[in-house]
Amino acid sequence: MNTIINPDRKSWSEILKRPTFTTASLESVVKEVFDEVKENGDVALKRYTEKFDKVSIDNFTASKDELENAKKVVSDELKAAIELAKNNIEKFHASQKIEKKVITTANGVECWQESRDIEKVGIYIPGGSAPLFSTVLMLAVPAKLAGCKEIVLCTPPDKNGNINPAILYTANLVGVTKVFKVGGIQAIGALTFGTETIPQVYKIFGPGNQYVTAAKQVALSEGIAIDMPAGPSELLVLADESANAAFVASDLLSQAEHGADSQVICVSNSKNFLQEVEREINTQIEELPRKEIAKKAIENSKLIYLENNKDILDLINEYAPEHYILAVKNEDYYLNGVINAGSVFIGNYTPESAGDYASGTNHTLPTNGFAKAYSGVNLDAFVKKITFQKISEQGIKNIGNAIELMAEAEGLQAHKNAVTLRLKSLK
């Protein structure tokens, strides 16, 4: 890892750059696939699945038999783990429901807000070297709680045309309505336009590689909402000598193994501690099955030493990490100063992996600095907020003149007249 000592503020933007990641160069490929999916539907899906996934699929729909067989294949131990995670995710996201509350803004004027589910949502689940069945929980559980009528899941098939059993089992467990064996750009295109088999949805959720990310951006330009802009996974750990270097190294590697373009950063006010962390990384990485991927990610990663607490806090908020682990004595100072972060993990016994799987919070989070303006996925992501108002005769008398004056000042006479006619009728 690159070690940086007391960097000047002027250099922070350069130091904190993410690994190069741009979707612009991929847009022509995405648009080509989208155009064909829009024009030729399932025929295009079949062609691109053969081209990109190297498998011929005649029926994209996962059958009831496949869903039932997944129950037999997944071990009882894994089923129990999935059930535990599901329950915790349900508890946490159910707490985000907001009850209807009628507010009287003036005598005779009542206003309130109600949530309505997004009727059709699509969730994309990567299924390559790391089939993310945990993401099925993170997306389908809140979708179900929100009341979404259709939850459509797309995931790429393996070389035999099958879906990972854990993905199928989890999808069935949480109430996904339809599961399809299609991945990549073509899956996002299908959810955007609809085909003979796959229904169009109103919003698309889920992580993916650079092609999926670019496809989601193009889907947005086609009028389909997406959860958030996405990029490679990232983690920042703030730790001092009260932390455990082995724990910190394991957390850094847990994100580094996601992909070669992932980025991990460790910030500390102790040079000795950073050296311990680096030694631990070099030891632990050799034991990882995905060590070649992790090693490439570590090349993009940094150990940063800063002396001053305010500088440390400012640097972290400037970076706006997707995942932020806080393992320091002066915990309250940093917690009170958190402004930009996707999800925060506090203390020596709170690994980032907990949020990825079973603590209850959502692991679909803003990356690439988008935590400055975006929240991670939560219950609100699956609903629209509709406002309501009801005004009585007394109410229109109370606010009517203000409306007339404001409308007239803006030169909108018809707006004024809509109030004036009502006021005259009450005289």
- Measure CA 105 to chain center: 36
- Measure CA 258 to chain center: 15
Binding-site residue numbers for Zn(2+) are 255, 258, 356, 415
Binding-site residue numbers are 124, 186, 209, 233, 255, 258, 323, 356, 410, 415
Phi, then psi, of 266 in degrees rounded to 5: -120, 125
The verdict on whether 393 is a catalytic residue reads no
Closest CA to 341 of 310, 378, 372, 304: 372
What are 218's two structure tokens?
Answer: 């193009």
Please, is 382 exposed, middle or buried when counting C-beta atoms within 10 Å of its C-beta (0-12, 13-18, 19+)? buried
The verdict on whether 322 is a catalytic residue reads yes
- Measure CA 169 to chain center: 22
SS (H, E, C) 185-239: HHHHHHHHHCCCCCCCCCEEECCCCHHHHHHHHHHHHCCCEECCCCCCCEEEEEE
| CA 375/CA 142 separation, integer angstroms | 15
Q: Give me the residue label for tokens 């999916």.
A: 37
| CA 397/CA 17 separation, integer angstroms | 57
- Are 339 and 314 in contact by the 8 Å Cβ rule? The answer is no
Q: Which of 234, 280, 323, 352 is catalytic?
A: 323
Pairing of strands 120-124, 383-391: unpaired
Sign of the CA dihedral with 348 first, then 349, 354, and 355 last:
negative
Rg (CA), the chain: 25
- Are 321 and 18 in contact by the 8 Å Cβ rule? The answer is no
Binding-site residue numbers for NAD(+) are 124, 186, 209
| CA 147/CA 7 separation, integer angstroms | 49
Alpha-carbon distances of 212 from 143, 238, 259, rounded to whole Å: 21, 31, 15
Q: Which of 322, 363, 393, 408 is catalytic?
A: 322
Active site (catalytic) residues: 322-323
